[in-house]
Structure 1
Amino acid sequence: MPHPDQPLTNDDDEEPLLDEDEEDLLDWASMAELYAVGYIRILADAIERGDADLQVDPVAWENTLTAAEGAMWEHIRGRLHGPTAITVEDVERVRRLRGLGSAALLGGERSPELGALALRCMESLFGPDWQRAARKAAFYARALNQEFHPRSGTE
């Protein structure tokens, strides 16, 4: 064991904390949850304002929320840990939100349940600090959405 005043080193005989697959899973899950909360926030804000354009690409929404559901299952299985304890009910809420959001993004009904459900899903992923996390995530999601799904330029 090194002296307390000496910096810790990663000697060749020490095993890393996470193997490469676990590290990749953690990175993937973190990004999926971050972008999911960003898209949820963007959609919820647009619906609350009554915007005609909900500002989220339907394919990005579907893919991102599906990935977030997968990440949430990894929390339940104990392979990932985050700021909250994810439950099966949390995954079911995100799945319901994904379906309702997809319908709205494709021009269908904007369920009155969407707003409250969106808030609950963001809270289940990021805990009591969900508002700060959602603002930051929405910024990143807008940038990603614009990069991969740019608007036609006409409004």
Structure 2
Amino acid sequence: MPHPDQPLTNDDDEEEDLLNEEDEDLLEWAATAELYAVGYIRILADAIERGDADLQVDPGAWENTLTAAEGAMLEHIRGRLHGPTAITAGDVERMRRLRELGSAALLGGGRPPELGPLALQCMESLFGSDWKRAARVAESHVRALNQAFHPRSGTQ
């Protein structure tokens, strides 16, 4: 071990704390799923709050993204991922409920009053008190993605 006053170099015997490729892929997948989920949640919640007839989210994209976010949240619970918040089983259940209610609304079903507050809780469970900033960033990414892949979804 080098003297405390000497800088560490790559030649030192200390190993760096690096992620293996599988863990890096999981982390990238989870971060992307959570970010896009917050974007879709924000778009849907805002459209419902305004009373828009068009909820501006592709139903398939909603289902796939929120299902992926649930999976990422489970990886947090298993301890394989860490984020700005401590994800609980209750958070995963709320996300699952939001996915179901949102899917029903996107397919022309009702818009229960709990949908808006549930959306806010889910965004906060993923990003903590910084969820508003994360939601703004995510919304712009989702709109760009939808414009490229779902041009008729109305998300513009």
What is the correspondence of 1:138-149 to structure 2 with a 5 Å cutoff?
138-149=139-150
CA contact (8 A) 2:57 2:153 kept: no
Q: Given that residues 146 and 153 in structure 2 are in contact (C-alpha distance below 8 angstroms), is that contact kept between their aligned partners in structure 1?
A: no
What's the TM-score, normalizing by structure 1? 0.90
- Unaligned runs of 5+ residues in structure 1 are none
* TM-score normalised to structure 2 length: 0.90
Alpha-carbon spacing, 1:14–1:143, altered in 2? closer, same or farther (3 Å): same
Alignment match, 2:28: 27
Q: CA offsets, 1:38-91, max 9 Å, x none?
A: 000000000000111111100000000000000000000000000000000000
Matches within 5 A, 1:5-154: 6=7, 8-9=9-10, 14=15, 17-151=18-152
Q: C-alpha separation between the residues in 2 aligned to 1:74 and 1:10?
A: 35
Label 1:13 to 1:99 Cα distance change in 2 as closer, same or farther (>3 A). Answer: same
* Partner AA of 2:110 in structure 1: E
Structure 2 CA distance for partners of 1:90 and 1:6, relative to 1, 3 Å: same
Residues 152 and 64 of structure 1: CA distance in aligned 2, closer, same or farther (over 3 Å): closer
Taking only the aligned residue pairs, the percentage that are identical comes to: 78
DSSP 3-state at the match of 1:94: helix
**3-state SS of the aligned residue for 2:82?**
coil
* Counterpart amino acid of residue 62 in structure 1: E
User: Equivalents in 2 of 1:15, 1:122: separation in Å?
Assistant: 33
Distance 2:153 2:121 in 1: 33
Structure 2 unmatched runs, 5+: none
The alignment's C-alpha RMSD in Å is 2.2
CA distance in 2, matches of 1:60, 1:9: 44
Q: Write the distance in 2 (CA, Å) between the matches of 1:29 and 1:50.
A: 31
